[in-house]
Amino acid sequence: MKLIADVKSLQEENIKIKIAISLRILLNKSKWNTQIKGKDDSIGDSHNTIALNAYIRKATVTRIFNANSNPKSTTLILIIEAMGFKWSDFSKIYDSLEKSDIEDFKKAKSSER
């Protein structure tokens, strides 16, 4: 039973990381769009503007972007839409991620500590 719990925990951790990576990629695209098209307050290009546009706490946004929280689907959709994207944009990125992306994220996160 402990092995099953460990595997489940690892899967959940990897899901949180894939969500965080996908959101970070969308955020970078949003920042790039802002630079090209000009500032648009309805498009979240920072944790703060995402939080304001999605009507959620900035701390919640930051925790999700850092893979420290497992978001509810509604919260995740609010964040994606607050950046001006659709679920399909997010899912394409999420589905394209490889194990190496997860490992790179873990290494970067551990070096921040």
Query: In this predicted structure, what is the pLDDT of residue 95?
Result: 97
Flag whether pLDDT at 1 surpasses 80: no
Give residue-wise pLDDT tens across range 59-106: 999 999 999 999 999 999 999 999 999 999 999 999 999 999 999 999
Instruction: Provide the whole-model pTM.
Output: 0.88
Tell me how far apart the alpha carbons of residues 104 and 38 are, in angstroms, rounded to a whole number.
Answer: 32
- Residues 44, 78 contacting (CB under 8 angstroms): no
